[in-house]
Amino acid sequence: MKILVLNAGSSTQKSCLYEVKGDSLPSSPPKPLWEGKVDWSHQQGVAEIEVETSAGENLTEEIATDSQSEIMTRLLNTISNGSTKVINQLSEIDVVGHRVVHGGKYYRESVVITQEVKDAIANLANLAPAHNPANLAGIEAGEKILGEVKQVAVFDTAFHRSIPDAAVIYPGPYEWVEQDIIRYGFHGISHQYCAERTADILGKDLQSLRIITCHLGNGCSLAAIKNGRSIDTTMGFTPLDGLMMGSRSGSVDPGILIYLLEQKICTVKDLDNLLNKASGLSGISGISSDMRQIKAAISQGNQRAQLAYDIYVHRLRSSIGAMLASLGGLDALVFTGGIGENASGIRQAACEAFEFLGIQIDVVKNMNKPVDKDITTSDSPIKALVIHTQEDWQIARECYRLLES
């Protein structure tokens, strides 16, 4: 089965073509036959295209256009033409999987795309204005170019629809529930992939494991996973809730926001910018949203950078504790995302807070740039793992499961 994955954003797009041979999915992620990236954020009206194949062929070019359909036509053309050709014609593709950020309360799992599904994605644009319209544009462009090839929507929120009401519903007026103002959670594709990969690495049945997955990148969230299902998470109605992030505040006392508005210190638009783009690591340090630059500043004695780091670790530890309480125990603590996969000090600091549970980090393993590895000692009753999240492969797996079911 040949599976094309399209991850369309507002200013970038990533695409992969996978081939699944045989009657089952491989136990570890395969290398894509073809990978394509489009970035039109650097220069208005110009799309930068990068293509790479598993055979090592590369292509880089620029196209002067704003048309997503035209860009995608050119990108997908490289799959079956020129030096980056990996198949003879696009009709060989069996299914296309699309990442869709928000599925609202309607979608608990991936679905074959119909007009009804497209209408729902469009209607949910008010909950994800920076993402759902771009996701829908990618779907419609895919339909136009690939004709009758089956299209599948894989929702970033779907994995968290198993969370019980007590964790989903906010303690405001019940009318919020009727207005669909609830905890949705995000990064679901990544959390699901990491949970399944954890079971593979440990050689355990996913249904038997209690896992906390820590997706730590510029955006950050945790998920508590029991019996293979999400039962709690830190992001909420929007991706602004929960952990301290690169430029997002995470959870703050809502009374602060009321105060800022009442005192006319901020407008609503100011608050949006403040909380999403001028807070977190960037806001506290005054330096950067990049943890690498924060660490570099700390090494030079910058106290605000140290404070940003300390708040980040404190918030992470506290939230892991909350997820632990929801699970009632823990078998594996998983780190993924740019910070989770690369910041050994963050992993060490997070785990040290739970040494009383018996978790024991192997310092050498932790420092040795682990990928898809357990970083604890052999006698640690709780395992800590570093997993390279592969959301594109998870989308491909969802497509395979849906078509084979």
Rg (CA), the chain: 22
What gap in Å lies between CA 253 and CA 2, rounded to an integer? 48
One of 66, 119, 156, 270 is an active-site residue; which one? 156
For the CA atoms of 306, 309, 314, 320, the dihedral, rounded to the nearest 10 degrees, stands at: -160
- d(CA 177, CA 157) in angstroms, rounded, equals 17
Q: Is the dihedral of CA 350, 355, 361, 362 positive or negative?
A: positive
What secondary structure, in 3-state letters, does 146-173 show?
Answer: HCCCEEEEEECCHHHHHCCHHHHCCCCC
**Tokens read off for 25:** 């999915």
Residue 87: name the closest of 13, 17, 7, 14 by CA: 17
Query: Could you tell me if 99 and 131 are in contact, meaning their C-beta atoms sit under 8 angstroms apart?
Result: no
Q: Provide φ and ψ at 248, rounded to 5°.
A: -100, 145
Active site residue 156: yes
Q: Which residues, 6+ apart, have CB-to-CB distance to 288 below 8 Å? A: 281, 282, 294, 297
CA distance 281 to 194: 25
Dist CA 321 CA 279 (whole Å): 23
Is the separation of the CB atoms in 79 and 87 below 8 Å? yes
Vertex 160 angle, CA 14 and 392, to 5°: 20
- Using DSSP, state whether 197 is helix, strand or coil: helix
3-state helix, strand, coil in the chain (%, to 5): 45, 20, 35
SS3 assignment for 10-50: CCEEEEEEEECCCCCCCCCCCCCCEEEEEEEEEECCEEEEE
Strands 150-155 and 95-100, bridge-based pairing:
parallel
Cβ atoms of 93 and 2 within 8 Å: the answer is yes
Q: Which residues are catalytic?
A: 156
